A and B are shown apart, each in its own frame.
Chain A
Amino acid sequence: AQSVTQLGSHVSVSEGALVLLRCNYSSSVPPYLFWYVQYPNQGLQLLLKYTSAATLVKGINGFEAEFKKSETSFHLTKPSAHMSDAAEYFCAVSDGTGTALIFGKGTTLSVSS
């Protein structure tokens, strides 16, 4: 069975600081991995996805994530946080066998000036 663990339910950074949101997955087959962002009172927007091509994936808004099979991780980073990055971030996994995306519990990112 697939699962996703997001370490840290709340991450706080200063504007301009590095953003690191952690995600570890469990899957019996090579996974599809995703990061989504949710702004208040809105739906989920795809930030980036890993589908077995390049292990370093670049997404929108300056975010990127690296797939590390040995560590079963897919951490999300951004070199310099902006106030507008404050939101809820979700990591999700799929094993590609016809099941739905399974989401982690989310990480709230706060950015202070």
Chain B
Amino acid sequence: DTAVSQTPKYLVTQMGNDKSIKCEQNLGHDTMYWYKQDSKKFLKIMFSYNNKELIINETVPNRFSPKSPDKAHLNLHINSLELGDSAVYFCASSHRAGQGEAFFGQGTRLTVV
């Protein structure tokens, strides 16, 4: 029973398309995150939601829009995809924001061609 699950695992799409990545956690955590891992393996926080409320919104193009329908789900929608968006996107959750370990999903490898 996967704690943090995200779909799809792989996503290949053309420039200009719109795509979504879904994330669900069954840990009962209050906080969920989206991280981006670039080709050099660097992990950067993009967004954080606490009880469905956006609490962190780093410098991310507004083509990226997170949506949290409830505290167990955090989806990421990306409009007008660009080549530079190619990366691995990780969803994570924690009991409280920044006060304990984060549990990560398996990642979604997005390739824009």
Contacts and interface: CB of A to CB of B under 8 A. Distances in A.
A75 B99 CA distance: 20
B56 A100 contact: yes
B45 A43 contact: no
Interface in B21-40: 33, 35, 40
Specify which of B103, B104, B106 lies most central, judged by the most chain A CB atoms within 10 Å of its CB. Answer: B104
A101 interface: yes
Contacts of A95: 98
Contacts, number: 66
A98 B92 CA distance: 15
A108 B92 CA distance: 22
A100 B98 contact: yes
Nearest to B43: A103
A32 B98 CA distance: 8
A36 to B, nearest CB: 8
Interface of A: 32, 34, 36, 38, 41-46, 49, 51, 88, 90, 94-103, 105-106, 108
8 contacts: A49-B100, A94-B99, A96-B99, A98-B99, A99-B97, A100-B35, A103-B42, A108-B41
